[in-house]
Structure 1
């Protein structure tokens, strides 16, 4: 039965004379050569990996890793054309084992007839381990040259065996110059300039968020408008919805942004820290996760340089719990600024790690007997507690006794820095070291 929404072909008109259906702008502007690809010079340039491979006539299997709309499919198709390979495209979302077998069988027949196959696998990370393993023998015997595309980190999502047989190339989101070049190319194809002011044009590029395909879709919408005058930024915003920022709370982007926030705080840059904090909130991140990570930053990077920092984080967290969103997020933003401007130290962290290494190295060495309690006569006879100096009875409240295992060389684990409150702690430590030397402590 014919689809009710399909219109019957006009009667009496030969098929060759019928008008072609309109093609989307993104399809019309699809590059025909690698030289027409906008952006990605880090992989396509003469000295870049693909440029060198093509110049030497030796193309290896590849994994393209990058965000949507940056040219992964287009580059794969053009590579096949440049190397006279038959191009086959499949998606891991819609392809199962039976379909893969058919693809491999067709590639084998093609190879027997002297024709190689470039198999492009979109969303390759969605194949499970067994399916990924299925590519290996066909890659090894030359039946296929595999080009996979993924938006996820290949280190986590692809089998080591596949990665060992393919080179990972990182494709980057298009920058403002790339997007502007793509816009001019679209205007040439359309035969007219977009009805936008310079400010609105900049806003349009921002809406694309580095995605060339998204930009062309937006341009196609704008080009269809009939306006008496060029539209400004506000008018554009009222007509178009801003593209949602790329953010996956369980994926790479989540870890990339929290890393950026943490390092901005550690680098004492409150503006950058607030920016990444806001980016995560705009992406839908749970503020409670951010509250927990801010508290970790206070413990890990500030600690005794400003003991108040941890309290500020806990108070901000509690304030968020009481107020909820969006007002409670202001308390977390306050903690972000405080942490960024606080003095920094990792002396305690380094001391802790050194203590753990030392504890592992010395095994079960017992404490010296003079600091052990002797609750029984037998333990007292064994020397437990003998010679213990009660610090409160000593001059300056400091006995200078040894508290490490007998025979162990005294280490210096905690090395405070000359910043914040830790400067005072360093003076105290040096004071006790002088007293210990005077009183014969080890």
Structure 2
């Protein structure tokens, strides 16, 4: 009887603790991002042992489909990471972080917002000025090169490989040909299946998909059409890998596996580039035509409206701790080797290559014009993202010509603006 009484007493003592425990589910893109979240969770649980987490990986290619289905069914996670093209589309389903910023960070929402780079601000707020996202990390597009392949070809690359100025577009295409031939490679460059790569490429060539008033200009600008023709020709000439855009072949595997010599990717590849044994990879400038800059972006952290106020608050509390400099944010950045979204935020990564990474991608970010944010930080771009890359991929696959693709993109655009009520 005494043992039973002791067991009952312990149970009664533990019952309030168990009852107050909260489990938060997080959707993320896996890979480096998951490593960062795992590091955050491990540290956060030391401070908040009554909060548990489940991290669920979703592949980048099907991420929005999975999130959209979750929203439609009402079975949403407590937290999600989201890449910048899709962030505006999902803001309306997220809780307002303003009151939690004051409660858990001790600053005003305005002070919070002003801490970020200007190019980050348009993504975190909704149309009513309410803060919906915590920036998880800041990214900039750029090139990565296989140093051994370039040395064998005798080609200097900017700015760390013996050349100071960016290549012109014409020089860059010739470099791809030469490095491919010198190393007897099947292809020269990998590029992820992404409308963001198209947007950055077009911007360098002096063209846009949308203008600042969200009008589709892609099919009306001769400069944009010529640039798209050149883009498709990179695949036809086997300078780029068609299967990466047609059948979902991994651009990461191609580049790090030695199939290609150049990777049009960005700052987010740093950890992976360092993790490959026996090979040397360094960042490089994107080529220059009318412009030379890297389209900025990154990953954002948001808490869904679930109707469970206790879980919503716990989700907001964790997100803000994870995304505020000097708290969890520094842990995340040191784990992932990503760049900070905060102005004047110095992070001691403890990795020498980060000085080069910050130099190269800092240059590409600093040159970015304001309009590159305007034309992408909106629901029109979020919805046009998939149709744009799909239509171009069909041209690369030889299943339609460019003019047909442009007509289909125009039709999708008209449907999108009608649904959004934009005139």
Q: TM-score of the superposition, structure 1-length normalised?
A: 0.23
The one of the two structures with greater contact order (alpha-carbon pairs below 8 A, sep at least 6) is 2
Query: Bigger radius of gyration, 1 or 2?
Result: 1
Larger relative strand fraction: 2
